[in-house]
Amino acid sequence: MELELTWMAFIMLILASYRLTHLIVFDKITEFIRKPFLTKKKISQKETKMVPKSKIGYLLTCYWCAGIWSAIFLGMIYLWIPDIAQYIILVLAIAGGQAILESFVGVNIKRTALYDEEAKELK
């Protein structure tokens, strides 16, 4: 079996894997998946932190670990069931590209607002 992968498909897989990883590790909507594998740890008198209580918890909160599994999952469905995978990958790739753009735009908008506030305080 020879793998033929266009540049466009490769970029879409990268973006889709990025978004799926972010969805698993950070997003509120998937918190219910992570929650059973996490426990609260007191790090100061006023502050607690959610930490993994098992290896599965670690896999669900480690960006690098979840990234590997997301890439394997998307790569396999792309190879085994491309007719279905193309739709999943398309949606995740669009969302991944949008998330990256929003990160740059959002950071710059917040930075601009911060500079405006600092400038007002200096006057």
Burial profile 14-46: b = 16 or more Cβ within 10 angstroms, e = fewer: ebbbbbbbbbbbeeeeeeeebeebbeeeeeeee
| Structure letter (DSSP) for residue 53 | S
User: Which residue matches tokens 């998330």?
Assistant: 99
**pLDDT-wise least confident of 73-82, 92-101, 109-118:** 109-118
Task: Please give the residue that has the higher pLDDT: either 23 or 104.
Answer: 23
Confidence grade of residue 113 (pLDDT, cut at 50, 70, 90): low
**pLDDT number for residue 59:** 92
